[in-house]
Structure 1
């Protein structure tokens, strides 16, 4: 089968509202984690987050998206979707065609407006304009309606591996000739729903997160969206190609609702499966964009899994120190960052790291540097032990 290649990318995060600004921020070690300004919560000054410094009203105006019931999650998704489609030179007719698929991941979806739904339900008899936007599929349904898309549309909700799994699903559609092009990615916005939930788990850090650091205190939540356009190599003559999606793997260690097994069984198997799909060995990997949430469990377990798989782990970092943990969007956002690594042959510095975890001794890259990179692995691990690894390779 022809290789699956990336022909378009779009992204918005706490460190930039397009691909160029995100890359420049990564190069310069910019941290987008700060006190909340647009999400009303009692934790606004207590739990820093990777917030996009644009109000929902500003996003609606920028995107000309004033439809009834549109949520912040959908607006962020629309922002990234538009950039990805333009970058891949997709025409409106191609976007709407039956052979174009849209696969997106989200954990929050329209649940970012739970408070509005509750208020509306108690203040009138007409219901809420946000009721139809409540579920996780609302983002893709909004994009489908706005662009009159007639192809396969699907939403995946596997917590923090959601958009990585959307990439895998899209690749399989291409592999089995069920679509000619797929737009894959994910979106999530900050909301009381998630801030309160993660705070109840006691895993939110009171300061900027420090992935893989011995003294890490937990994660920072973030928001954002990213989409990639995937096509078969045989269909992209003359088009710009960023990278090859060469492998992918998914596993589930079924160990605990919110923790990974101490042996790192799920992460180990997902990384191993990605290598097998790509026909590569562990020694072929040039760099890892780690899941790296800065929680006690994840960073120790992911380090253990890397030591199991790699005789000597390659350079790695977690970009969640830049953006916060964007939940269902994380896999797609970090896939874009992995493509930057390949396309520009560079590694971005890990933020806030000082001392390695004593049991593993692994240290992420701490300075920006040019580096020869052939294959990049991007890890995304979700609640319930759903673990996914993507492999991107340099396009020659």
Structure 2
């Protein structure tokens, strides 16, 4: 998946974190093969190593090289002595493969990758007590299925957002209140429906079925047994007949709504912000069924060569000013109320609105052990979803 980088002015992120010199050698191993969640996270502070290798979504680690006014990396380097090298990735699958090389200390993982990283032993448990800024993070982002396993934390929440319903106000005289306009009623907009191009989009269909076919017994759209997955696939195959374009490039979706090639489909608040600024006749809404969404997590490699600097980065990027700069540039809600002191658009992203956030089903990696609590059935994993997505698209 590709997400938007919402270019905004850079913020000076001068939070003093000299006290975060972290992690002695006894805590450098972590995760363990096969998804060991017994926890061997760091227990005390130590000296930073002088460098860190970060694997991240585009726009998450900006050092001024793309825009001289956008730089929250240099202050981190100056205050910790950890020189940053960065590699960006375009999909969660790409990130997963790169993390297996052991070449990176830290990764920004979306929920459709995080549990796979834990299960593969690629990331280490994180001792959040060692992070000064962790307490300020919204409680509704902590201890969730995509960042915590068996009570063990595997990272620090970064930013979050919802996959909203976008519609053309020229076509819709009233705001749609249900996702039925892209599912059961998609035929009314044949050829002009758009959908997100990823296996994780199956969860959008499952969420819709939760409300409209309760007999299927779906309790969590990322926890589907074979029958439930088949129902979601059938719904998406019906939708496929009316989809004009599947999108992963935000620029293509912007253009499609500007030209009228797309009139309804899944989108992000930041895309609506761009379209609105350019005078497009579009709007977004959170339908009555809720929405899927993302809450990304900064995670530390179980093979980290620079674990002290890795902890320093996790604490720094959770600091109010640094988090504000990174999430604003990317186009998502920050992880704390304090970050909103350094942004002027938190209201547009519903930052800190727990009621709004409770309506979002955040991306979570589908695994065979049902995360909805069922133990009498095996659920379908991400590999099954990937195969299903290929079948849906034909």
Question: TM over 0.5, yes or no?
Answer: no
Ranked by relative contact order (alpha carbons within 8 Å, sequence separation 6 or more), the top structure is: 2
Q: TM-score with structure 2 length normalisation?
A: 0.29
TM-score (norm 1): 0.29
